[in-house]
Amino acid sequence: MKKDDFNAIIDFAVDREKEAVEFYKDLQKKTKFSGMIEMLKELETMEKGHITALGKVREKGLEKVEINKVKDLHISDYLADIEPTPKMDYQNILIVAMKREQKSKELYEDLAKRFSGTELEKLLLKIAADETEHKLKFEKIYDEHVLKEN
């Protein structure tokens, strides 16, 4: 793979992760729930970790990449998209976050297909798995606090 192509993919991924950081910062401002604010801060930190990891990949190249198998409850598959608003309730915050993580996961999986058989494919699949982990956190909370109450 050409260095320019490699750097373009890394730049794209970094930009997506920066968008995710801003997304979680913004959601923190829109929620009144202290437990949710803490979880959103944690996810913001994880997304910042992705930016750092991508920077290391750019500097040092790809090292051994381990891809964790992550369970997917598929709850977000059956929920309608919603736009974030300042007056969102707990349920809608969870839906917005699940949908965002789902779309990020799908994006990285689609990118990985373009680089099939390369180390970059593994990196992109690793990031997709991380996004699936984030989505799973929201799905578990949704399952425990929204679905069980209804």
Give me the DSSP letters along 82-111.
----TT--HHHHHHHHHHHHHHHHHHHHHH
Task: Determine the structural domain holding residue 70 and report its residue range.
Answer: 3-147
What are the average pLDDT values for consecutive 10-residue runs of the chain, which has 150 residues? 80 92 89 82 89 87 81 90 82 90 93 87 88 91 82
The total domain count for the chain is: 1
Euclidean distance between the first and final Cα of the chain, in Å? 51
Q: What angle do CA 49, 52, 134 make, to 5 degrees?
A: 25
Predicted pLDDT of residue 150? 62
Between CA 101 and CA 39 the distance in angstroms is 14
pTM for this predicted structure = 0.82
CATH of the domain at 116: 1.20.1260.10
Predicted pLDDT of residue 1? 64
